[in-house]
Amino acid sequence: MDTQTDPYLWLEDVDGAKALDWVRARNAETAARLAETTDFERMRRQMLEILDSEAKIPHVVRRGDRYFNFWRDAAHPRGLWRRTTLASFRTPAPVWEVLLDLDALAETEGENWVWHGADCLEPDFRRCLIALSRGGADAHVVREFNLETRSFVPDGFTLPEAKSRFGWKDADTIYVGTDFGPGSLTRSGYPRIVKSWRRGQALEEARTVYEGQEDDLAVDAFHDAFPGFERDFVARRIDFYTSQLFLLGDDGALTLIDVPEHAEAGAHGEWLLVTPRTEWQVGGRTYPGGALLAARFDDWLAGDRALSVLFEPSETTALSSYSGTRNHLVLQILDDVKSRVEILTPEEGGWRRRVLEGLPEAATIAHVATTPHQDDEIMVLASGFLDPDTLYRGVAGAAGFEALKQAPSFFDASGFAVEQHFAASADGTRVPYFVVAPRDLKRDGSALTLLTGYGGFEVPLLPHYVPGEGRLWLERGGVYVVANIRGGGEYGPRWHQAALRENRPRAYEDFAAVAKDLVARGITSVPHLGIEGGSNGGLLVGNMLTMYPELFGAVVCAVPLLDMKRYTKLLAGASWVAEYGDPDVPEDWAFLQTFSPYQALREGTATPPVLFLTSTRDDRVHPGHARKMAAKMIAMGADVLYHENIEGGHGAAANNAQTAFNQALIHAFLREKLR
């Protein structure tokens, strides 16, 4: 099927009157079917109660001596940006200084502002660049904000709406990549040109620092403020998995950091840190993909190729992430998708290593935050499927961790247990998955089961607290399953690369293997097995529809890619060619068409019931994917429901109320189809 023979091409017109009339008609059908029952309303209220709970942990970021948080609740649906002190944060009821009230700002300006974050100027943190999105889109406006006066700076740095990249160089200079006009964006819609913009200059007068290629993903420039090792860099993102890093001199000269393009490189004080994605031969040694390597930055620039191995992967372990404190490195390591944290300290003759103590052994480390330019503070957020988030604070090099905040339990987890199993994929690969189920589950295939996965972009799915699924699904007798299929990062780059491009079907074989294993174990059966996936996970479940429809009783497909023939022509799609392939290259289309659900869908093929969810304002994955697939399936007589939030961005929701509505739709749909 090409653009000339696609009868639903008109649905790609995001704001077209005909397309939006179709959307509103589908939304009305779905609401009438699912959203007008007392059960739906109960689930919506329960989900909103969780999202708006004032007992949630305020997730904080330290800036100087203050802890900043962005907070949403029932009274502040768009949110408050606020800060407090450590002493106050330790108390049950911290006193917060409100810096910006987004609800008040939106009302004053007549805009549906959604928070996109803030970049604050070190070391005094008095000025910030704030990003605000209209309705949750990836594109945002940027404004300078004065933390002392708690107001926007008149005649300060401002950028119009675009997918801009920006950051401080000094108090009077920022680096900016944005839409400077024709030719300034890559084919993916991100900045191709980065400039140095001085206060008082017109944007068009800013000095160009670097120009990338049209086929690059994006370019960026940034200032590293590590005390004593201040440097400026330019990063050229060729695609998702290849890049170049340049040291930017005061005279504007660029020095390429000599590492492979498949490696990620960065500086931490005196150290150059490198993580190659594939095997790397240098300095007479061979280093595996997924390792973390260190060299002295200045020595490396001078030609010394001595590297220290800080982490080396095994068959079961992978480096999930790393960050630095002033004097240490903090490594988050996965071992069969279970977490541990290690502290590495450079010493004379090598690096000292120890496992971070004072954290619960069974917890998943969801997030590690450090203050590399300030001191050795570490903040760790730990949780599990049945264990609510706990926020810990400690100091690298010191013993013990303090539990700063404990999230409430939103459902009674005492009757449930977590199991990890391994399914054998079609090629024999051992694929892990987690099952959250009642302790007394009858293994007779009768349990309603929700299976989810992702399998792309080297993103791992880790065990995490699931309050919504707990209250809306588990407490009502359901089973929740997370599949750690290839394409993700659960076992590092090799796990991801095993499902790249022409190997993408390996991810789908893995997911099908998990579904079959669930049935074989008696945990569920086909009529009671539902699946859910979003974005790349939407492509996953879309392929389950066309490749393995006989394995599932219902499908929830959210903000998905589905038309792989045209995905590069829709919004940010061109940026994912390294992941999927290029449909305009005949050799690539030969394999791409084997996992393009929109093209693979055929008349007469029986499919399970499907609920599609997307957003009009999603400027990352085009809503046309979901619209066209739904329209094609409806014309074929399939059981299809469709809901498109008119705002919300790639998350399909711009606030807690919209998220609660979507979650209630999903669970009402699954309850109806799987019982």
CATH of the domain at 569: 3.40.50.1820
pLDDT above 50 for 549: yes
- Specify whether 352 is located in the same domain as 468: no
Place of tokens 């190997």: 503
- Specify whether 344 is located in the same domain as 438: no
Residue 367: both structure tokens together: 């997030």
Within-domain flag for 478: yes
DSSP-derived pairing of the beta strands 449-452 and 529-534: parallel
Residue 593: both structure tokens together: 């068409």
pLDDT digits (tens, 9 = 90+) for 559-608: 999 999 999 999 899 999 999 999 999 999 999 999 999 999 988 889 99
What is the pLDDT, as a whole number, of residue 136? 84
- Specify whether 530 is located in the same domain as 471: yes
Q: Which residues are catalytic?
A: 535, 650
Of 133, 162, 191, the one marking the end of a domain is 162
Assign 1 a pLDDT band (cuts: 50, 70, 90).
very low
- Specify whether 576 is located in the same domain as 619: yes
pLDDT above 70 for 647: no
- Specify whether 337 is located in the same domain as 482: no
Q: Residue 536: is it exposed, middle or buried by C-beta count within 10 angstroms (0-12/13-18/19+)?
A: buried
- Specify whether 34 is located in the same domain as 78: no
* Total domain count, the chain: 3
Within-domain flag for 205: no
Within-domain flag for 185: no
Within-domain flag for 632: yes
Within-domain flag for 214: no
What is the pLDDT, as a whole number, of residue 358? 77
From the list 276, 404, 394, the residue with the least C-alpha distance to 328 is: 394
pLDDT above 90 for 662: yes
Within-domain flag for 1: no
Residue 484: both structure tokens together: 């750690």
E strand spans, 384-474: 390-395, 402-406, 416-424, 430-438, 449-452
- Specify whether 625 is located in the same domain as 508: yes
Assign 172 a pLDDT band (cuts: 50, 70, 90).
very high
Residue 20: both structure tokens together: 């939006």
Angle between helices 624-635 and 17-34 (to 10 degrees): 70
What is the pLDDT, as a whole number, of residue 3? 46
- Specify whether 349 is located in the same domain as 441: no
Of 112, 144, 162, the one marking the end of a domain is 162
- Specify whether 488 is located in the same domain as 445: yes
Of 373, 407, 441, the one marking the end of a domain is 407
- Specify whether 480 is located in the same domain as 618: yes
pTM of the model: 0.92
Under a CB-based contact definition with an 8 Å cutoff, are residues 290 and 493 in contact?
yes
Name the residue range of residue 133's domain.
Answer: 58-162
Under a CB-based contact definition with an 8 Å cutoff, are residues 226 and 268 in contact?
yes
CA dihedral 160, 166, 167, 172 (to 10 degrees): -50
Helices marked H in 606-655 — which ranges? 624-635
Residue 650: both structure tokens together: 């790639």
- Specify whether 550 is located in the same domain as 614: yes
Tell me the three state secondary structure of residue 667.
Answer: helix
Within-domain flag for 68: yes
Within-domain flag for 336: yes
- Specify whether 540 is located in the same domain as 661: yes
